[in-house]
Amino acid sequence: MRAAVVTAFDRPLTLEDRPTPQVGPGQCLVRMETSGLCHTDIHAAHGDWPVKPGLPFVPGHEGIGIVERVAEGVTNPAVGQRVAIPWLGWACGECEWCIKGWETLCPHQHNTGYGVDGTYAELVVASAKFVVPVPDGIDPLDAAPLTCAGVTTYKAVKVAQVGPSDVVAVFGVGGLGHMAVQYARIAGGTVVAIDVHEDKLDMARDLGATYTINAAIDDPDIILRELGGADAAIVTAVTPKPFEQAFAGMRRGGRMVMVGLPAENTLTLPIFQTVLQGITVTGSIVGTRLDLAEVFELHAAGHTRVVRTTRRLDDVNEAMKAVEAGDVDARVVFDFRAPAS
């Protein structure tokens, strides 16, 4: 089976023919139909973050496919079922965080496409308990971005406790941000979308943003304060500056949720303003299996739209370059079903 493999952090991915992976206890084998390209995959391939993946590895954690085989004793999912393979590849189920509904914080978790081989491959083994069924009627090309970009921003909107009278600032209108705009609207918020690309701001307006700010032209914090300040901010940017702008644009008592993971890992926060204005700054990482099931439910009901463009896995390196250059509307999705060119 074909797989895109990272062999060194300073080299492009290589396409390899690998043997079919063995199904271990509690696992299932999934034949991929689609897999999204998340910015995390680029960081993983470059070894950008403090904890680096072991080499070689297969990136990808927005995998959608059909279960082809299950280990002995596994009854769920069933062979033939369509499932999603998310970032949370496995969690222990027994620790404090797993028990209280925060499996995404499990210290023992395995992360797909980082700690364990991911979904840039035709065949992928996954924990049967941690794949999430994809309801009929959802296009696998839509389901892939929902599996990380969707669930991550859906959870961030929950963490931000967005209410009907809230002004919600969404920093960065890419793969994550374009979903954040929609979930903030669904929660009843008035959305202000911030980006440096005018075409992405047009997309944000199409998806329900009431206001847009081009941060290449205007200061987002000044405009947010003119609007009364943001009750909630979801920051999906991949550089630190928008995080500072978000903080400076918060309303008293506001909740700022950090979602993007810049390679440059530092943010300076003014203590005085944080204390006196009662601002909450928090992080939010992906979402649980239940969050993802809810994301699929909303999409199946027609409440969300996924903006994506399709590529073949052979084009993985070009696709990553295009995403890094900001040349891609929202999400790249690799389609494994497309015939070889």
Chain residues binding Zn ion by CB under 5 A are 38, 40, 91-92, 95, 98, 106, 148
CB atoms within 10 A of CB 46: 15
Measured from the CB atom, the residue of 38 and 184 that comes closer to Zn ion is: 38
CB within 8 Å of 83: residues ≥ 6 apart: 28, 30, 64, 65, 66, 67, 77, 126, 131, 132, 133, 134
Least Å distance, CB 257 to Zn ion, is: 16
Minimal distance, residue 181 CB to Zn ion, in Å: 17
Shortest Cβ distance from residue 140 to Zn ion (Å)? 17
Tokens linked to 89: 């590849």
| Contact of 3 with 122, CB cutoff 8 Å | yes
- Nearest distance, CB of residue 24 and Zn ion, angstroms: 19
Q: What totals of helices (H) and strands (E) does the chain contain, helices first?
A: 11, 17
Q: How far is the CB of 286 from Zn ion (least distance, A)?
A: 7
Closer residue to Zn ion (CB): 29 or 91: 91
Which lies closer to Zn ion via its Cβ, residue 150 or residue 242? 150
How far, in Å, CA of 337 to CA of 224, rounded? 44
Of 3 and 98, nearer to Zn ion (C-beta) is 98
Query: With respect to Zn ion, which residue has the nearer C-beta, 95 or 248?
Result: 95
252's enclosing H/E stretch is: strand 250-258
Q: How far apart are CA 219 and CA 213, in angstroms?
A: 8
Residue number with CB closer to Zn ion (174 or 249)? 174
Are the C-beta atoms of 178 and 206 separated by less than 8 Å? no
Shorter beta-carbon distance to Zn ion: residue 61 or 251: 61
**CA distance linking residue 207 with residue 178, whole number of Å:** 7
Minimum Å gap between C-beta 142 and Zn ion is 16
Q: Is 285 helix (H, G, I), strand (E, B) or coil?
A: coil
CB under 8 Å to 12, separation ≥6 — which residues?
A: 317
Min CB(221)–Zn ion separation in Å: 27
CB of 50 to Zn ion, least distance (A): 17
Question: Which one, 175 or 242, has the nearer CB to Zn ion?
Answer: 175
Asked whether the CA dihedral 28, 34, 36, 37 is positive or negative, the reply is: positive
Instruction: Give the Cβ contact number of residue 100 at 10 Å.
Output: 9
